[in-house]
Amino acid sequence: QVRLVESGGGSVQAGGSLRISCALSGNTGSRYLMGWFRQAPGNFREAVAAIDRFDRPNYADFAKGRFTISKDTKNTLYLQMNSLSPEDTAMYYCALRETLCSGIYCLTNPDDYIYWGQGTQVTVSS
């Protein structure tokens, strides 16, 4: 059973930074990719960033230049978020897919990700 556990969320003032983490455990198989999504109240879940089959980071337009996705060798995924604004307030989820993707196609459809964490709340105050 695959398990994803996010941590590191919290409250920060506009302009501040946060780093959230996602610990992966369980039997994932040999091929998988991971990404970050977010959902604000009343909004659809949207992609934030993902690492593709070539180990390239890919970002939603709002994340470019501010957010950095990375992973370590211990199956932990990170999202460094800088220059946060109140519009970034949302529940942030990490997710895993077992189908390969490249480039922006890793961001186009949350339904391609089959395992999800419980989320970590990020709140940015003005």
Q: What are 13-64's pLDDT values in tens digits?
A: 999 999 999 999 998 877 899 999 999 999 999 999 999 999 999 999 999 9
**Residue whose C-alpha is closest to residue 110's, from 31, 24, 43:** 43
- d(Cα 38, Cα 43) in Å, to the nearest integer? 9
Which long-range contacts does 30-33 make (Cβ < 8 Å, 24+ apart)? Answer: 31/98, 31/100, 32/96, 32/97, 32/98, 33/96, 33/97, 33/100, 33/101, 33/106
Half-sphere CA count of 122, side-chain side, radius 13 A: 30
Q: Band of the pLDDT at 74, cuts 50, 70, 90?
A: confident
